[in-house]
Structure 1
Amino acid sequence: MERKTLDVQGMSCGHCKASVEGALKKLDGVKAAEVNLEAGKVDVTYDESKVTVDALKEAIEDQGYDVA
């Protein structure tokens, strides 16, 4: 398992947190996703043989947020 922290811009509330975590957890290979609203970051634990970092970023961007 890999662990990656992504900088996400535009998250400000509980709904933001839920939508980003939900989108990531739907991806095959993502074991855990935890948003830190104050820091504007999301920690993702995933199986690198099943999902790529680009796929993680795309799932977040599809929710309307920018990934730095």
Structure 2
Amino acid sequence: MEKIIFQLEPLTCPSCIKKIETVLQRTAGVESAKVMFNSSKVKVELNEAEVRVEKLKETLEKLGYSVLSMKVS
């Protein structure tokens, strides 16, 4: 299991939390996804054998959020 933190551009609405978490949690290979609104970070636990980190980054960008950085934790 791998943990990654995505730093997004500043989030502007609390409804973004539910949108991001729902889409990521429905992605095969994602064990959990947690959005921290105040810091605009998304913590994701994933099974790297099932999903690539790049796919998650692309998913976030398709939702309209710019990924500023990624960090494995």
Provide Cα deviations, 1:9-51, integer angstroms capped at 9, x if missing partner. 1422221111111111111000100000111100000000000
* Equivalent AA in structure 2 for residue 55 of structure 1: K
SS at match of 1:64: coil
Tell me, in whole angstroms, the C-alpha distance in 1 between the residues paired with 2:63 and 2:10.
10
Question: Greater shift after overlay, 8-17 or 30-39?
Answer: 8-17
Aligned-residue sequence identity (percent) comes to: 34
Paired residues for 1:6-21 under 5 Å: 6-21=6-21
SS at match of 2:60: helix
Checking the alignment, whether the CA contact within 8 Å between 1:10 and 1:66 is kept in structure 2 is no
Match of 1:23 in 2: 23
Q: Which stretches of structure 1, 4 residues or more, deviate above 6 A after TM superposition?
A: none
Q: TM-score, normalised by structure 2?
A: 0.86
Gaps of 5+ in 2: 69-73
Checking the alignment, whether the CA contact within 8 Å between 2:10 and 2:39 is kept in structure 1 is no
Checking the alignment, whether the CA contact within 8 Å between 1:8 and 1:40 is kept in structure 2 is yes
Aligned residues: 68
The alignment's C-alpha RMSD in Å is 1.0
SS at match of 1:50: coil
Q: TM-score, normalised by structure 1?
A: 0.92
